Amino acid sequence: SLGTGGDMDRIVIATDGSKPAREAVELGLELAAEHEATPIFVHVIPEIDVMPTSGLGISIPPAVVHEPTDEDRAPLEDALALAAEHGIAARSQLLSGSPAAQIVAYADSVGADLIVVGSRGHGRITGAVLGSVSHGVLAQTRRPVLVVRAARSAVEAGVGT
């Protein structure tokens, strides 16, 4: 249960730069401010880049280790900038591999009190379908998870822009 006081120290907030992720970042920051917790943004990138293989029988390694790019770091930079605007000291970590598994393992490693993820779920019934990452996180962790749907009304989302 989300108690008040010093119960929540670390909130892991997953972001990939998408609109649902931005909603998760904003809500995670609000919670961090409220509970005086440290928000830690995480973004998961692929471990390997799959290369197109040549049809000429020339052996090209089918996959190479993915080296992080500025583009990979952008979602974390954006989230950190947003935290700074709110005067909140945040941390960030770039992870690589399977998104849900990496988010859960990282949350365990830092002793997160809460994991916040955005959902890209496209269910016709509101909230019926979760995005695969949020679903995976829920399935793999025993920590509290807050799934944020990017469904705030335009009026609410338009404030302060």
Q: What is the pLDDT of residues 38-72, one digit of tens each?
A: 999 999 998 887 766 656 666 666 677 888 999 99
Neighbours of 131 (CB within 10 A): 21
pLDDT given at position 19: 85
Residues of the chain with confidence (pLDDT) below 70: 1-6, 51-62, 121-130, 150-161
Both tokens assigned to 129: 């379908």
pLDDT given at position 18: 87
Residue pointed to by tokens 């609410």: 156
| 2: region left, alpha or beta (phi > 0 left; psi from -120 to 50 alpha) | beta
